[in-house]
Amino acid sequence: MLTELIGWCSAAVLLLTIGRQVLAQWRSGTTQGLSRWLFIGQLAASTGFIIYSWLLRNWVFVVTNVLMLATAAMGQWIFLRNVRREAARKKHQHNA
């Protein structure tokens, strides 16, 4: 029981940390300081870990990585949205 509790608490900390980064990116509206590959790597790793954890029947890691996959997808979407917005701003400034 203690082992499961440690796993779930650690998963919560990880998800809150990554979620905070995605929220900060959403609020800032920029891609400054972020690599395009951050969320792509997270998508790939989470997919692999979901499969691995499922095969091991480790539900802490299955749930954690499904949520991490969702966070990565949201982060990638926000990143691409911000790239388009930054390009539009630069174009608008250049034409003004």
Please report, in tens digits, the pLDDT of each residue of the chain (96 residues total).
888 899 899 989 988 988 888 888 888 888 887 777 888 888 999 999 999 999 999 999 999 999 999 999 999 999 999 999 988 988 888 886
pTM: 0.79
Q: CATH for 2-95, among 3.30.465.10, 1.20.1280.290, 3.30.470.20, 1.10.3720.10? A: 1.20.1280.290
Output the six-digit token pair for 82: 């911000």
Task: Return d(Cα 93, Cα 96) in angstroms, integer.
Answer: 5
Q: Residues 36, 39, 45, 48: what is their CA dihedral angle, to the nearest 10 degrees? A: -110
Return the H-helix or E-strand segment holding 92: helix 59-95
All residues at 6 or more sequence positions from 74 whose CB lies less than 8 Å from its CB, including other chains: 22
The backbone torsions φ and ψ at residue 30, rounded to the nearest 5 degrees and listed phi first, read -125, 170
Give the model's pLDDT for residue 91: 86
